[in-house]
Amino acid sequence: MLDNNIEYFNIIKAATDDTLDYFDHAYISNLELVQSLKTELFELGIKIEETERTKELYSYRSENRRNLFSPNLSEETFSHAKSRILDEQLSDLYTAKNALLHKISTTEESLILLQDHLHMLQQSRDALTVLRLNSGDLSTEPDELIDSETTSSTSSETITNFNHSYNILMLHEYDKSNFADYLRTDIKQKLQNNQHKIEVLNWLLTSDIERARLTLKEILTSSNSALEDIDKLIESINQNIDQEQPIWMTIEHTISTYKSLHPNCIIESTTQCPDYEINIPPILTISLVTILKELFDNIFRHSNANKVISKIYISKHVIDVYINDNGVGISSDYLSTSNWHSGLHKIHELIYQLDGKISIEGDLISGTNIRFSFPILT
């Protein structure tokens, strides 16, 4: 009778393990699909923006050519034809976008169901192990119990690591796309407009010298603006960090910048560094400054605070940061309610990469309290 019970138990356990493996693979496959679809959606959004700008730029050029030179019927007919083609392309792109949004929503709903099934199956397997322990058959259950806990922990850890890895990749792609978009919409657009104005200027020099002077001023203003945009890009890439400078000086410089930008807000900051000559790997300095900038930007963008307290401790082994503002606080579900590419999501993933920890809590009374730390690995 006992042998039969053990045999039945093994059959149920094997079926549970197989089912758990099936749902585990299904969950990971669907998670990969969601991330792939979101990447496709983001790229599609860029195509839509490019097509809309092409249409606007084409209309701008056509309109200026008619005004500056002479109306041309064939050119105007071509303009209408081109406009219709672009409208059709935009319609197809928006249709594809709506289809992607629906597919993402459906797949995310499936992910929630799969996660629930995984949780129930893991509970079921653990319950089977406990049941066997209680049955009095102690020949193998300690190993099985350890194996069950290890497998469950490994499965959960695998999913967690997988989620973080994809989030990091998605955020990296998002930043690259934003960078390319900024180059295209701000700098390239200004250069293209200048190119067109130079064509107009060439014509105005022989027909209207006063308008030529005004056009030249516009070109110079636009060129200076493009140079400023390039400077901003360079600063955003290297964080304007002097890698030869001690980390505590870099921190003080960063915070003093915010003091200058927000004179109506009291910023109290202290940086404790027992060894002021401490040698911190440059990537950790850049990461710390990136996190601080994201947090301070978030405070001044959303909190309505008029006082911020910052305490930073740097030792040979760890960097520990505490920041408090007296603003409106933050909801406990801020990660699930904010955009996946928000600054707070970036901070969480960056600290995860650094093997650190972060806690963000807040309410209307105490404002927002932020605490994070990460080890210094040399």
Specify the domain boundaries for CATH 1.10.287 within the chain.
2-173
Residue 256 CA neighbour count, 13 Å, CB half:
7
Average pLDDT over residues 125-139: 59
Give the pLDDT confidence score for residue 222 in this predicted structure.
84
pLDDT at 138 over 50: no
CA neighbor of 33 nearest in space, from 107, 117, 88, 144 = 107
Joined tokens for residue 269: 């900051």
Residue 337 and residue 294: Cα distance in Å, rounded?
Answer: 18
Map tokens 């064939």 to a residue. 74
Give per-residue pLDDT as tens, 331-374: 888 777 777 677 888 888 889 888 899 999 988 788 899 999 99
- Location of each CATH 3.30.565.10 domain in the chain: 247-375
Pick from 41, 336, 39, 43: which is nearest to 166 by CA? 39
First-residue to last-residue Cα distance in the chain: 61
Mean pLDDT for 243-272 is 89
d(CA 42, CA 335): 20
Residue 42 predicted with pLDDT over 80: no
Over residues 265-301, the pLDDT tens digits come to 999 999 988 887 788 888 888 889 989 999 999 999 9
CATH, range 2-173: 1.10.287
CATH (residue range 247-375)? 3.30.565.10
Q: What is the pTM of this model?
A: 0.49
* CA dihedral (92, 94, 99, 104) positive or negative: positive
What is the rounded distance in angstroms from the CA atom of residue 180 to the CA atom of residue 230?
A: 12
Of the candidates 35, 48, 51, 160, the one whose C-alpha atom is nearest the C-alpha of residue 95 is 48
Q: How many residues does the chain have?
A: 378
- The answer on pLDDT for 14 being more than 70 is yes
What was the pLDDT predicted at 322? 94
Class of residue 310 by CB neighbours under 10 A (exposed 0-12, middle 13-18, buried 19+): buried
Reported as a single tens digit per residue, the pLDDT across 168-186 is 666 566 666 667 777 777 7
The CA angle 150-112-38, to the nearest 5 degrees, is 105
Cβ partners under 8 Å of residue 242, min gap 6: 250
Distance of CA 45 to the CA centre of its chain: 16
Q: What sign results for the dihedral spanned by CA atoms 237, 296, 255, 352?
A: negative
Nearest CA among 268, 284, 330 for reference residue 303 = 330
Q: How confident is the model at residue 69 (pLDDT cuts 50, 70, 90)?
A: very low
Radius of gyration of the chain (CA): 30
Q: Do the beta carbons of residue 334 and residue 360 sit within 8 Å?
A: yes
What value does the mean pLDDT take over residues 16-30? 77
Q: Would the pLDDT of 256 be above 80? A: yes
> SS3 for the chain, per residue?
CHHHHHHHHHHHHHHHHHHHHHHHHHHHHHHHHHHHHHHHHHHHHHHHHHHHHHHHHHHHHHHHHHHHCCCCHHHHHHHHHHHHHHHHHHHHHHHHHHHHHHHHHHHHHHHHHHHHHHHHHHHHHHHHHHHHHHHCCCCCHHHHHHHHHHHHHHHHHHHHHHHHHHHHHHHHHHHHHHHHHHHHHHHHHHHHHHHHHHHHHHHHCCCCHHHHHHHHHHHHHHHHHHHHHHHHHHHHHHCCCCCCCCHHHHHHHHHHHHHHHCCCCEEEEEEECCCCCCCCCHHHHHHHHHHHHHHHHHHHHHHCCCEEEEEEEECCCEEEEEEEECCCCCCCCHHHHCCCCCHHHHHHHHHHHCCCEEEEEEECCCEEEEEEEEECCC
Q: Is the pLDDT of residue 107 over 60?
A: yes
